[in-house]
Amino acid sequence: MLISDNGIDLIKNFEGFMSHPYLDVAMVPTIGYGTTHYHHRAVRLDDQDISKKTATYLLRTQVDEIYGRAVNHLVQVPLTQNQFDALVSFTYNLGVGAFKGSTLLRDINHGKIAAAYKEFHKWTHANGKVNRGLVARRSKESKLFLA
């Protein structure tokens, strides 16, 4: 399964666009729509600016090759497109390792959809504090997951 345009738009909405490198809330060099790595190396703060077109290409490529692939591999039950999009957004934001070790994934694989929905809301902290942007993102992802 591949992420839909709706899923890409969800990620873009929450990540926002920055043409130049910056430090995200976790203090990781980032560019475009939350991209922390190019194909060949990590983003550096002295990198060149990029266009929205390039940022969208990087996002879609990484989502398809890394995050969508991970969701396809780790989830052992059939998903709807909305569930897949929500999980890819979640995994893009938190990383494959966090998703792989999560109770969210375990609940999904055990068919506990209501419990999985609740698990989204536990992932709202950055640097040890509740982050309003992450609260909003998890709310949107969880609602999409159930839609």
**Strands 29-32 and 18-23, sheet pairing:** antiparallel
Angle at Cα 130 formed by Cα 124 and Cα 135, nearest 5°?
A: 45
Rounded Cα gap, residues 11 and 74, in angstroms: 20
Give the residue numbers annotated as catalytic, written as ranges. Answer: 15
Q: Return the number of other C-beta atoms located less than 10 Å from residue 78's C-beta.
A: 8
Q: Quick check: 40 and 24 in contact, CB under 8 A?
A: no
